[in-house]
Chain A
Amino acid sequence: MASRVNPNILPDLLAGINQAQQSLNQADLELASGRSINEPSDNPAGTAALVLNHDAQSQVDTFQLNISDLQSTMQVADSALNSAVTVVNQAISLGVQAGNSDLSNQDRQAIAQQLTGIQQQLVQIANTTSGGIYLFSGTLTNTQPFTLDPASPNGVDYNGNSSVTTVDVANGQSVQTNVPGNQLFLNPSGNLLGSINQLITAVTTNTGIAAASTALGTASSEFITQRLAYGTTLNELQSTNTFLSSQTLQLQTQENNIDAANIPVVASDFDEAQIAYTALLDGESRILNLPTLLDVLQ
């Protein structure tokens, strides 16, 4: 005797239809979102990797924001120092001029006055602010670094500190973002403001103008050496920014590898599921309409 089969096939058919519908929905979801992971259970390890990837991307984004912020501040500092170089060059030529023995006392006093103007300009430059903070006062960014003081041998007092700030611009990479004002303008290896002050005194008193001019020249080259730090950092920021952009690209590629739906595959899955679904519906309607023995017994 042939084994009996379950005469009620409806639950099986419904389960089959349900399955086909689930495949359809999944494919539809992936097509609509463009992602293969739509909830953590779709790919738990992939979702965990996405968490790390998104965090890494966010860190890179922050570093890039910081870099653009630092770039604008440091450009302000750099161009201020650049204009300082220009006025110092004027002072140097004024010193040479004052050394000319043909000059009258009156002419020298006029030069001394011009030099005093340059001294004031330099102090103004050394007190440059950006976004309300002083750029050359070390970490005492709320304190105006330089004030004129005729009693001081430098002609100025320095009110900042000698602290250098470093900022992280990538994981494990930091840059120096300031040179303290005393290191720039009152450096023992070449004291810019001090030698200007001495030159003013020398010109005013007509004693030791040549020596004072030489000292200013030395101070000027030291100043140029010191300000290079800004250019160096700006270059470093530029290249770090480029590196970070490539890192973002890499992270996005990684994200896509984890997460992006394989559109051709999903589209064909969708087609398959659709065909299966239609075929099942067709099959069901045929089976449900099959006559039983009772229908043919008339």
Chain B
Amino acid sequence: MSLTSGLSIAIQAMEADQGAMAVVSNNIANVNTPGYTREVANFAETAPITYGNLQFGTGVELQSVQSISDSVLQLRLDQETQNQGKLSTVSNGLNQVQTLFNEAAGTGLQSLLSQFFGGLQQVAANPTDSGLRQAVLGDAQSLAAGFNQTASALVTQQQDADQSVTQTVGQINQLTSQIATLNGEITTATGNGPNSNANAFTDQRSELINQLSQLVDVQQITADTTGLTLTTKGGAPLVVGNQSFNLQTQTNANGFQDVYSQGTDITSSIQSGNLAGDLQLRDQTIPADLSQLDTLANGLATAVNTQNAAGFDLNGNPGGNIFVPPAAVTGAALNLAVATTDPNDIAASADGTPGNNVNATALANLQNQNIIAGQTPINYYSGLVFQVGNEAATASSDLQGENLLVQQLQDQVGAVSGVSLNEEGSNLILYQNAYTAASHVATAISNMIQTALAMGPTITS
């Protein structure tokens, strides 16, 4: 064994410690970087050499810089993030919907419905009073306006959800294109040799996949040759290796945007993420509420018109329409309108005499008759209010549960991959001490060489 080989072992050790110090420094630098996974320096002994029958170690090398992550855990986090994305969109939407039915605060259709029938009840007590008749027409106007406004607010929300579909598709496309680029860079970097690492790119990609998971359901397939493949749960390709596949939108029969992948309509197969939430609001939840509102408006207008036609107005003529007859059930709430401005048109009388109130009583009593899908108007409406409140409550509690789950998973991911300043601090001491020790060894060997060189005869010139 030569002194110089000892010296080179010490120098090599110093280099390895220096490298490890760089890893510590990088960890500390990225302590707050989202998606960053901590790295550790892996040391390895170098191959020994044999002198005679003795074997000598040849020192240490910094074999690799390893990213510490748990891909299964990350995958679970992504899955739950997808559910969270859907639930948060749905819950937000439903919270907006329920403000239209906030009966506890007195905003909603109940008071308008009750007022309209109450007005008719008053006409029944006083069938020739033109002030009371006028008031009924005013109540009918307010009721129609209430239906119009509620329906129109629901339609606006539906349109907002639709707009959000287009925006979300744009965001998805942007993310998948970034992920594809990173895939390419990861392949190139890992192709540089067995010890090269693509940790930074992998971290970024994993962060982008998590962002993508908020928007849409994502399925990951990892293959060694092509890198990472991402598809929707329905199988529509999003990223294959370094190539991304854009989703498109196309206007459907309702005037809303459907989501297409490679020419195929995948709207109904999207299960989670914000996109699924917006689609559910737009295509299921809000249409269901609207349709019940339409049923109510249509049933009410029809029943009132029919009953009014059974009587005689104050001029002794057969009763006409109070409401403009809805053209169809769909849109009945949005378009409900009052057909007359003449208070005499209320057909209070059953026999044409002005004091007869039999038909007015019948009109007023529609309030307590099962004229809307087998229920009284107010019972039917209260069912709708229950449904809206219940949906909002369920979505909100589901979201709370999901938030907790995601938070727990983030904790677990953090426990595996997060940078701990304490850990880095202890590594810092470790590598600093090792470096100092190795430099002492180098100094000692250098002194030994000086000593050796100073041995023997002094040459004088």
Contact = CB atoms under 8 A, between A and B. Distances in A.
A187 interface: no
A12 interface: yes
Contacts of A90: none
Interface in B114-156: 114-115, 117-118, 121-122, 124-129
A235 B418 CA distance: 83
B442 interface: no
Nearest to B368: A171
A40 B114 contact: no
A4 B98 contact: no
Contacts of A38: 102, 104-105
A139 B392 contact: no
B80 to A, nearest CB: 15
Interface string B419-450: 11111111011000000000000000000000
Interface in A47-104: 47-52, 54-55, 58-59, 61-63, 65-66, 69-70
A168 interface: yes
A39 interface: yes
A7 B418 contact: yes
B89 to A, nearest CB: 16
Interface string A155-194: 0000001010101100100000110000000000000000
Interface string A10-25: 0110010000000000
Contacts of B361: 167-168
A41 B392 contact: yes
B104 A47 contact: yes
A38 B98 CA distance: 11
Contacts of B99: 39
Interface string B352-393: 011111000100110110000000001101110111111011
A52 B386 CA distance: 11
B103 interface: yes
B118 A40 contact: no
A8 interface: yes
Interface string B333-361: 00000000000000001010111110001
A39 B104 contact: yes
B196 interface: no
Contacts of A236: none
Interface stretch (A199-207, A246-254, A290-298): A290-298
Contact of B425 (A47, A139, A294): A294
A69 B118 CA distance: 14
A4 B420 contact: yes
A39 B105 CA distance: 8
A6 B421 CA distance: 11
Given A139-B354, A139-B355, A140-B355, A5 B415 contact: yes
A259 interface: yes
Contact of A142 (B102, B114, B354, B387): B354
B128 A4 contact: no
A112 interface: no
A51 B378 contact: yes
B428 A168 contact: no
A111 interface: no
Interface string B387-412: 11110110010000001000100111
Contacts of B403: 15
Contacts of A37: 104
Nearest to A178: B355
Contacts of A178: 355
B121 A293 contact: no
A139 B125 contact: no
A40 B101 contact: yes
B111 interface: yes
Given A47-B104, A48-B386, A51-B381, A133 B110 contact: no
A66 B121 contact: yes
A47 to B, nearest CB: 5
B442 to A, nearest CB: 25
A51 to B, nearest CB: 4
Contact of A168 (B124, B412, B418, B429): B124
A163 B420 contact: no
A284 to B, nearest CB: 16
Contacts of A45: 386, 390
A70 B125 contact: yes
A40 B411 contact: no
Contacts of A153: none
A52 B357 contact: no
A162 to B, nearest CB: 11
A133 B355 CA distance: 9
B414 interface: yes
A196 B404 CA distance: 93
A7 B425 contact: no
Given A139-B356, A293-B425, A7 B104 contact: no
A52 B118 contact: no
Contacts of B418: 6-8
Nearest to A35: B104
Max chain B Cβ within 10 angstroms of own Cβ: one of A7, A59, A132: A7
A131 interface: yes
Nearest to B381: A51
A3 B415 CA distance: 8
A297 B425 contact: yes
Contact of A4 (B108, B381, B416): B416
A107 interface: no
A141 interface: yes
Contacts of B423: 7
B1 to A, nearest CB: 37
Given A44-B393, A48-B383, A138-B355, A58 B128 contact: no
Given A6-B411, A7-B414, A7-B419, A168 B121 contact: yes
Max chain B Cβ within 10 angstroms of own Cβ: one of A11, A141, A293: A293
A271 interface: no
Given A47-B103, A48-B385, 6 more contacts: A39-B98, A40-B103, A40-B392, A55-B114, A137-B355, A165-B356
21 contacts: A4-B420, A7-B420, A12-B411, A15-B403, A38-B102, A39-B95, A42-B393, A43-B389, A51-B110, A52-B379, A59-B114, A62-B117, A62-B121, A131-B129, A139-B354, A139-B355, A140-B353, A163-B351, A167-B361, A294-B422, A294-B428
